[in-house]
Amino acid sequence: MSGVRYEGIEKRFEAFTALHALNLDIPDRTFLALLGPSGCGKTTALRILAGLETPTAGKVIIGDRDVTRLQPRDRDVAMVFQSYALYPHMTIADNIGYPLRIRNVDAATRAKKIAEVAQALEIDPLLDRHPRQLSGGQRQRVALARAIVRDPAAFLMDEPLSNLDARLRLSMRGEIKRLCHRLGATTIYVTHDQAEALTMADLVAVMRQGELQQLAPPADVYERPANRFVALFVGNPPMNVLRAEVSEQGIHVAGATVPIDGARHQRCLASAITELGIRPEDIRLAAPGSPGALSGEVYVVEPMGNETLVDVRFGDERVTLRAAKGFTAAIGSTLGVAFDAADACFFDSSGSTKVH
Ligand code: ATP
């Protein structure tokens, strides 16, 4: 296995720039999630690594090899597609063994490797079937087996779970994470699902409109988002963003003044803060009118089974908070909420995070 590096990768499709000077350094044995909304350039970045797309500028390095000009088959990467891309006329065993066959691996070695990976992915009873005789989850396992059968330098996965139902997606998420961990594989995993990125990856690269917004471990992306875009894209329900002003008295937000500790206060005063972000789990219920409490109107209450989501309105602004299961409040009633400024992050008018 090897690390992977994008050096100043740019991709233009005629007048449209899909990737702007992308720099990414993915250490050996790292699981990287490329995360972002539809159209941000994730698939393009992956296809450039696979050699299925040629960059307009920049270099792709795998291990210590510059592979920018190499054909896909010479790059030593294995790709798992959303569509699985299995050959319908071949048996499962032949599908899995295909990458070995085109590399002229002899039949006995092939059979041994196929049996090994089929056992690892628990699809050994299916080897004589054809793809049409398999469920979506089983097909996904076959696609994974075909990718790992020849120990590539890196695995590239493009939304591999998006065709599965919600329950299966959850269980395959764990399976893929375990598998990559066991193989010690460098993996680049494209997803628009922030939960997949947070739960599976060692490193998350958040992209927007062809530009990298943040490259960090999942906990940092969640706790210390680089900007407002990342803050809102990662987390469900998303971070609450409220207009904020800072003065010598504290932070003024939704008609209340929230106290803040000295060092953070100074940093907020020194930056042109316009908004603050606070996660739903960092907001608590408080008596309306108590010091630092924001007084609002209940917009909706949503029992989730294990917890209750509560939307509270302050004029034209609104927050979601996580309350305990069993919490109830009438729509339209007055509710006080509070948070610690230490849990908030503060943005300037350009949306970049000034204080975490
Ligand atoms: P999704 O999650 O929807 O697959 P993505 O983040 O993977 O989105 P890409 O498929 O990489 O996005 O596309 C990035 C941008 O480049 C999009 O605006 C897309 O329309 C454009 N694009 C991709 N391929 C081509 C092409 N062959 N010709 C022109 N534009 C393209």
| pLDDT tens, position by position, 88-112 | 999 999 999 999 998 899 999 999 9
Range of the domain at 346: 240-355
From atom 2 of ligand 1, which residue's Cα is the shortest distance away?
Answer: 38
Q: How many angstroms does the Cα of residue 294 sit away from the middle of ligand 1?
A: 43
Rg (the chain; Cα; Å): 24
How many angstroms does the Cα of residue 51 sit away from the middle of ligand 1? 16
Q: What is the pLDDT of residue 179?
A: 86
Task: Name the region of 99 (left: φ>0; alpha: ψ -120 to 50; beta: rest).
Answer: alpha
- Please report, for residues 11, 146, 201, the alpha-carbon distance to residue 97 in angstroms, rounded to integers and kept in the order given: 34, 7, 28
The CA 195 to ligand 1 mean position distance, Å, reads 22
pLDDT over 90, % of the chain: 81
Confidence category of residue 2, pLDDT binned at 50, 70, 90: confident
Lowest average pLDDT, out of 25-29, 183-187, 349-353, goes to 183-187
pLDDT in tens, 226-243: 999 999 999 999 999 999
* Pairwise CA distance, residues 118 & 146, whole Å: 9
Last residue of a domain, one of 171, 192, 225: 225
Query: Is the same domain home to 297 and 209?
Result: no
* CA nearest ligand 1 atom 26, residue: 13
Look up the ipTM and state it.
0.95
Q: Ligand 1: which of 9, 42, 193 to mutate, most ligand atoms within 8 Å of CB?
A: 42
| Residue nearest to ligand 1 atom 24, measured at CA | 44
**Lookup: tokens for 193:** 């699902």
Average pLDDT, the chain: 94
Q: What is the rounded distance in angstroms from the CA atom of residue 355 to the CA atom of residue 277?
A: 10
Return the pLDDT at 1. 57
Q: Which atom of ligand 1 is nearest to the CA of 40?
A: 6
**CATH code of the domain in which 349 resides:** 2.40.50.140
Q: Is residue 125 located within the same domain as residue 266?
A: no
Residue 185: the pLDDT is 83
* Structure-token pair, residue 81: 């597609």
pLDDT of residue 284: 96
Nearest CA to ligand 1 atom 9: 41
Under 8 Å CB-to-CB from 14, ≥6 apart: which residues?
Answer: none
Check whether residue 221 and residue 325 sit in a common domain.
Answer: no
State what percent of residues in the chain have pLDDT above 70.
100
> How does residue 211 score in pLDDT terms, banded at 50, 70 and 90?
very high
Neighbours of 167 (CB within 10 A): 9
Residues 20 and 105 in one domain: yes
Closest-CA residue, ligand 1 atom 5, reads: 39
Same domain, 206 and 264: no
